[in-house]
Amino acid sequence: MSGLLVHLPSDERTDATPAAEPVSLRLGPGDVARFGRGSASVPVDLRLANPAVSRLAGEIRVTDDHWQLSNLSTSQTYLVENPEGAGEYFRVPPRRAGAPVPFEFARVVLPARGATVSFQVFAPDHVYVGGGRTPALAGTGTLAGFSLDETATYFLVLVALCEPRLRDESTVALATTPQIVERLRGRPGCERITARAVSSHIDYLADEKLRLAAPAAAPGHGARRTGKREALAGLALRFGLVREEHLCLLPPRTAVLQRTEGARA
C-alpha cells in the first residue's frame, strides 16, 4: 500500500461553519492521524466539531498493506461502511485498538447530536497475490464453490432481485416478482418472461446453483418464499456474486418508466 487519503467533506465539519473548506489528509505507511473534537490541549489531525464526539475519538494507522482504525471512545461504537458494498459494514466497539479495515473505499461513521458525523477513507493500493498460475498440486482438483453463468436468464433475475440493495436504495428491500418481470421485459430475449418463470429461476438458483439450506419453517407459503429470497440475495451480495457493475446487464430504468407511462396512457 503506497498510502491512503482521508477526506472530510465541508458539510460534515460543524453546524456552526457550514461553509468551511473540506479537509484532506494524505498518509503513508507508518503514519498515524488522530481524529475527534479536539481542544487546545488535545490536538487532532481531523477535527469533528460536534459536541457528541470525544475530544480524542480515535486514530487511523497506515501499515504496509492495510489501514487500522482505533476507537478511543469509552462509550460510543463506530461504524465502518463500504459505500460500494450494498450495505456492507462492521462495528468498532469502544476502546477497540487497531481494527483492520478491508475496504478500498470506506466511510467511518460516528454517532452525534442531530445527525451522524462521517469521513471517508480511500485506500486504492491494496496488495494482491501475483497473477501467475499456481504450481500444480497432487490430488483431485478444486471444485468451484459457486458456478454462475452471467449470460443466463437466471443470473439476470438474481441481479434484478438484488438491484435495490446494489443501488443503495434500501438495505432491506428486495425486488418483488412483478417488479423483476417488469424490469427484465425491456431486455432482448426477455420480452415474454412471466412471473412463474421468475419464481422458477429463483428456485433453481436457491436449490441448484447456490444450494441454500431450506429456510426455517414459517406460517404461509409466502413467508417461506420470502425467506428463500432473503437468503439468496444475502449470499449473493456477501460473496460478491452480484456486484454493482452487473447492473449494466439490466435495461435502462428509463425504459421501464416509458413502458409504465405508455400502459397508463
How confident is the model at residue 12, as a pLDDT? 47
| Residue located via cell numbers 494524505 | 26
131 or 77, higher pLDDT = 77
Cβ distance 117 to 110 under 8 Å?
Answer: yes
3 state SS of 177: helix
Asked if pLDDT for residue 85 goes beyond 70, the answer is no
**Mean pLDDT over residues 173-195, rounded?**
92
**Mean pLDDT over residues 126-139, rounded?**
66
Q: What count of other Cβ atoms lies within 10 Å of the Cβ of residue 254? A: 9
Asked if pLDDT for residue 43 goes beyond 90, the answer is yes
Q: How confident is the model at residue 214 (pLDDT cuts 50, 70, 90)?
A: low
Q: How confident is the model at residue 165 (pLDDT cuts 50, 70, 90)?
A: confident
Q: How confident is the model at residue 247 (pLDDT cuts 50, 70, 90)?
A: very high
Asked if pLDDT for residue 171 goes beyond 90, the answer is no
3 state SS of 108: strand
Q: Which fold has domain 4-122?
A: Tumour Suppressor Smad4 (2.60.200)
Instruction: Tell which residue, 25, 62, 75, 74, has the closest CA to residue 47.
Output: 25
Distance CA 172, CA 230 (A): 9
Taking the complete model, does pTM exceed 0.85, yes or no? no
Asked if pLDDT for residue 128 goes beyond 90, the answer is no
Cα 265 to Cα 141, 184, 186, 258, 259: the distances in Å are 58, 21, 18, 10, 10
Bridge partners (DSSP) listed for residue 105: 122
Quick one: three-class SS letters along 166-180?
A: HCCCCCCCCCCHHHH
Instruction: Specify the domain boundaries for CATH 2.60.200.20 within the chain.
Output: 4-122
Mean pLDDT value across the chain:
82
Distance CA 10, CA 234 (A): 35
